[in-house]
């Protein structure tokens, strides 16, 4: 009825204009209503959904997605209102790329703002599932920063490509040119890229944390820093060792800071003068002492008389001490050694030390006959006469 009356009084063109204006007003009101829903209703739904997770990140998500969502609703609502007014083709062609660019900017703006809360939530859920602790480590914090930076850069690049494409430019050619240039740079900097890749692998795999004591490929010390190119390790003598990340990535790493307990393995040598009863008494006493110790796992205690060594009777002692701290482990070893000394003193058993007994046999009288057979006596000289020869007369000699 109202539309017919407007047509009769103002004409069909005026009636169409009024109808379009009314539709524009309705679209603007709908845009305003949707913005209010995004501000008030959707956050409640997000909070209700995220209550089921062990870690709530509803407020960062709402703060991240709220402004881009309102921006997109506003752009789409205004553009819809403009289209209702049926502008000319030239106006549509001029405003189309602008609107498409604004829509792309709104979408990638939302993705850019979503990266930070999403990465934090993912790492928090990972810590809760793996380590059951909400406290972030230094490597977690650094990894989160790197992922945010790389993700933000990727979103910016993709958003710029979408905006360029909305204006009708060839994005594929630009990407191909960048790919060729990137390949040339990659070939010229293989070592640098390998170390950079190793940096991300170390962060993702997390074989150690800053401050852990590690051993690999002849390197021993505490991890001090983890850079993009190298890892710095402080050796026990306080020298600083710089190792390329690709070497760390490919190495078999022993992390002594991840111990939950330490193994005690020692051999006690008692003197050979100890009787079997004394040796058995020492074994049983040490076993009972270790099982009653407050820092030792009772089920891990092994004490046995195992060998007859060159200068001692060897007793093997094995157990686990419930402390990962090196200083506490050494203190526990000292306490155990002192108690073992008391046990040996109570039983009159002494600790053996390296020694050697030499038996010397006294010399005997040699057999004269055997010596005579080997060394015969010298032959006697002929006797010399003591009588003077009488002179022989000359005539008798003739």
Give the ranges where the chain is alpha helix by DSSP (H): 2-10, 12-50, 58-84, 89-130, 138-166, 171-188, 190-205, 245-250, 276-291, 326-346, 368-374, 394-397
Domain with CATH 2.30.30.60 in the chain: 206-257
Work out the mean pLDDT of the chain and round it to a whole number.
Answer: 79
Q: Are 17 and 3 in contact (CB under 8 A)?
A: no
What confidence score (pLDDT) does residue 56 get? 56
State pLDDT tens for residues 280-327: 999 999 999 999 999 999 999 999 999 999 889 999 999 999 998 888
Using pLDDT thresholds of 50, 70 and 90, give the confidence band for residue 398.
very low
**What average pLDDT score do residues 121-136 get?**
59
* pLDDT over 70 (residue 163): yes
State pLDDT tens for residues 233-271: 999 999 999 999 999 999 999 998 888 899 999 999 999
What confidence score (pLDDT) does residue 396 get? 40
> Closest Cα partner for 244 from 200, 198, 185?
198
Q: Which contiguous run of DSSP H or E holds residue 316?
A: strand 313-321
Q: Are 200 and 191 in contact (CB under 8 A)?
A: no
**What average pLDDT score do residues 30-41 get?**
80
Q: 206-257: which CATH topology?
A: SH3 type barrels. (2.30.30)
What confidence score (pLDDT) does residue 73 get? 87
Of 283-287, 337-341, 356-360, 391-395, give the lowest mean pLDDT range: 391-395
* Helix 2-10 / helix 12-50 crossing angle, nearest 10 deg: 140
In CATH, what class is 259-346?
A: alpha beta
What confidence score (pLDDT) does residue 221 get? 94
Within 13 Å of residue 161, how many CA atoms lie on the same side as its CB?
14
Domain with CATH 3.30.70.100 in the chain: 259-346
State pLDDT tens for residues 191-241: 887 888 888 888 778 888 888 999 998 899 999 988 888 999 999 999 999
- Residues 176 and 224: their CA atoms lie apart, in Å, by 41
What confidence score (pLDDT) does residue 68 get? 87
- Residues 70 and 32: their CA atoms lie apart, in Å, by 9
**What average pLDDT score do residues 114-119 get?**
84
């Amino acid at each position: 009825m109202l539309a017919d009356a407007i047509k009769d009084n103002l004409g069909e063109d005026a009636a169409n204009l009024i109808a379009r204006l009314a539709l524009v007003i309705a679209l603007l009101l709908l845009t305003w209503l949707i913005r209010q829903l995004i501000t008030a209703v959707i956050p409640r739904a997000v909070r209700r959904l995220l209550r089921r997770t062990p870690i709530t990140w509803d407020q960062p998500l709402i703060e991240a997605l709220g402004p881009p969502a309102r921006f997109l609703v506003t752009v789409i609502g205004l553009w819809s209102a403009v289209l209702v007014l049926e502008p000319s083709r030239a106006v549509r062609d001029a405003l189309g790329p602008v609107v498409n660019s604004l829509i792309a900017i709104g979408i990638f703006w939302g993705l850019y703002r979503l990266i930070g809360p999403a990465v934090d939530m993912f790492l928090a859920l990972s810590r809760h599932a793996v380590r059951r602790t909400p406290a972030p480590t230094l490597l977690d914090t650094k990894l989160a920063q790197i992922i945010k930076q790389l993700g933000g850069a990727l979103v910016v690049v993709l958003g710029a490509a979408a905006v360029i494409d909305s204006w009708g430019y060839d994005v594929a050619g630009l990407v191909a040119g960048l790919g060729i240039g990137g390949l040339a740079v990659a070939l010229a900097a293989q070592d640098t890229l390998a170390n950079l890749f190793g940096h991300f692998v170390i962060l993702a795999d997390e074989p150690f944390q800053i401050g852990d004591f590690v051993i690999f490929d002849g390197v021993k010390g505490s991890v001090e820093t983890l850079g993009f190119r190298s890892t710095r390790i402080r050796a026990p003598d306080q020298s600083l060792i710089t190792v390329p990340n690709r070497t760390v990535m490919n190495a078999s790493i022993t992390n002594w800071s991840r111990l939950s307990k330490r193994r005690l393995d020692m051999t006690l040598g008692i003197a050979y003068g100890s009787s079997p009863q004394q040796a058995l008494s020492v074994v049983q006493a040490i076993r009972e002492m270790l099982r009653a110790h407050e820092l030792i796992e009772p089920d891990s205690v092994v004490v046995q008389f195992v060998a007859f060594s060159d200068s001692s009777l060897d007793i093997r002692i094995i157990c686990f001490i419930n402390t990962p701290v090196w200083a506490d482990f050494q203190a526990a070893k000292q306490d155990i050694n002192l108690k073992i000394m008391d046990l040996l003193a109570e039983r009159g058993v002494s600790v053996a030390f390296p020694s050697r007994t030499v038996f010397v046999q006294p010399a005997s009288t040699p057999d004269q006959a055997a010596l005579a057979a080997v060394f015969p006596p010298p032959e006697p000289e002929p006797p010399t006469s003591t009588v003077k020869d009488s002179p022989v007369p000359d005539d008798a000699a003739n």
